[in-house]
Amino acid sequence: METGHSLQETELIQGLVKGQDWAFERLVALHKDRMYNTALGFLQNETDAEDVTQEVFIKVYQSIAGFKGEAALSTWLYRIVVTQSLDFLRRKKRQNKGGFFQNIFGKETGEPPDFYHPGVVAEQKETAAILFKAIRQLPEQQQTAFLLQKTENLSQTEIAEVMSTSVGAVESLLQRAKSNLRKQLEDYYLKQLR
């Protein structure tokens, strides 16, 4: 994800700016799986992740002319998917404010069902569901840094580019995320032993 563009990426960007179908199809083919996985890590719901992934590519199609090329195209895409995912969660949280009344009447609780990421092997699904529930409780910046590192295998430098921050800030976010997760998971397992 370095900022220098390869010849292929430059041609792709030029094709996108000109509105050429082949360029958009190529962009989707190259990046849809990573964008979907990133959205899925945040949203923990396959349908929601598919919706957000579609929104990402619609947004790219509508705003490619504004792409300045200061970062790699993939960095720009990650920024969009993170923003769209967090916006989606905020909208959902606002909608669930009415969840209290739904709880009284025994309907939806607003609590996400146990979530299984497709990249997790069968024996680890229960542990992964507990971990993803804990990740959901992290502050947005910590959640973003942690998910980009653990689900997308981005380096701290790449995460810093996506989040428009310094490598030192990413390091700090990751340390705090791990510390918070450790505390949440210790609390969870201690409750299970009672």
pLDDT surpassing 50 at residue 181: yes
Contact call for residues 163 and 75 (beta carbons, < 8 A): no
**pLDDT category, 97, cuts 50, 70, 90?**
low
- Architecture of the domain delimited by 117-194: Orthogonal Bundle (1.10)
Q: What is the pLDDT of residues 16-72, one digit of tens each?
A: 999 999 999 999 999 999 999 999 999 999 999 999 999 999 999 999 988 888 889
| Residue 31 host element (H or E) | helix 21-43
What is the per-residue pLDDT for 93?
82
Residue 60, pLDDT score:
94
Q: Given this model, what pLDDT does residue 14 score? A: 92
pLDDT score for 40: 95
Q: What residues contact 193, with CB distance under 8 A and at least 6 apart?
A: none
Residue 135 to residues 19, 150, 184, Cα–Cα distance (Å): 38, 11, 9
Higher pLDDT, 114 or 35: 35
Task: For residue 83, report the phi and psi dihedrals to the nearest 5 degrees.
Answer: -60, -45
Of residues 7 and 173, more confidently modeled? 173
Angle at 97 between CA 93 and CA 102, to 5 degrees: 115
| CA 52 – CA 140 distance, rounded (Å) | 17
How high is the pLDDT of residue 62? 92
The mean pLDDT of the chain is 85
Q: Mean pLDDT across the stretch 104-132? A: 58
**At which residue do the structure tokens 């739904």 appear?**
102
- Contact in structure between 84 and 52 (CB atoms under 8 Å): yes
> Rounded mean pLDDT of 136-154?
94
CB 88 within 8 A of CB 48: yes
Q: Is the pTM of this model over 0.85?
A: no
Q: What is the domain class of 1-113 according to CATH?
A: mainly alpha
Minimum mean pLDDT among 25-34, 174-183, 184-193: which range? Answer: 184-193
- Please give the share of the chain, as a percent, with pLDDT higher than 70: 81
pLDDT in tens, 120-140: 555 566 777 888 889 999 999
Q: What torsion, rounded to 10 degrees, do the Cα atoms 95, 100, 105, 106 define?
A: 80
Give domain limits for the chain.
1-113, 117-194
* Residue for token pair 């700090």: 172
- Confidence (pLDDT) at 118: 57
The CA dihedral of 121, 127, 128, 129, to the nearest 10 degrees, is 120
